[in-house]
Structure 1
Amino acid sequence: MEKDFLKEFIYEVAKENEKKIAQEKRKKYFRELGRKGGLKTKENKKLDKVISIRMTNSEYETLIQKQKRYPLKLSTYIRNILFEKELKINEFKTDEVLLQYGNYFKKLSNLLRNREWNVFENKKEILLRIENLIELIHQYLYSKTRKNE
């Protein structure tokens, strides 16, 4: 009887130990997955090289005047000019009104959907037209950004 009790006790302890080991393995597995998975981290390009140049006062003044047109630091402006990057500071500034209209139309369509507007007989037609208009605005803006790229 003591042998059965001892065997049973050892068997239960071994089972619990296996469960603990399996649980630890699982934790380590998911911890490792967490390190591998998730959102891709953005690459932070460090600007670690310094170049100094000499220029005359007049050259410096013209450079400062050109740089003041854009809300950029002087070094960023020079880097963009050097590598012939397009200065996209106010990318959607010209289309700001169009973006606001798109947002307002979206709010209108949500209002028509979520509340009881039984006053309008052609509610579905109005919703359809608003959705078409929103889609046209998005197509226009995204085609413009694709052209700039």
Structure 2
Amino acid sequence: MKQNFLTQFITKIQEEQEQKNAEEKRKNHFRTIGRKGGLAKKKSAVFSKTISAKLTEKEFQIIKEKAEKLNLKISKYVRLILTEKELKINEYKTDEVLLSYGTHFNRISNLLRNREFSNLENKNEILQEIINTTNLIYNYLYQNKIRDE
């Protein structure tokens, strides 16, 4: 009996120690990532070739304005234009906005279901409209995903 209790006690302590070690390892991992400043950035060795071109002041201003609209550096914007990837930059911005709207609508409906809002007269109508709107948003996003594939 004492032997069985002792083995159970030892295995329990070992499991707890392993959990502590795993948690400490996880914390240290995130500390080192924080020191590094996040994920590793692309190194300049990836972009080894250089292309020079002369532009007029007007052409340069146009490119600069378009790059600023997209929150890109001029070199990255020109690289995307040359590789014909420019259209893919803002392709999913509307999807992200719609997805955030859907999330916010879900939060609003959860709040309305709370008992503090049970006194509202048209609570069910509002909930139904929110559900319909979120369904439309998610259906639109799902159809776009299928179309892209």
TM-score, structure 2 length as denominator? 0.49
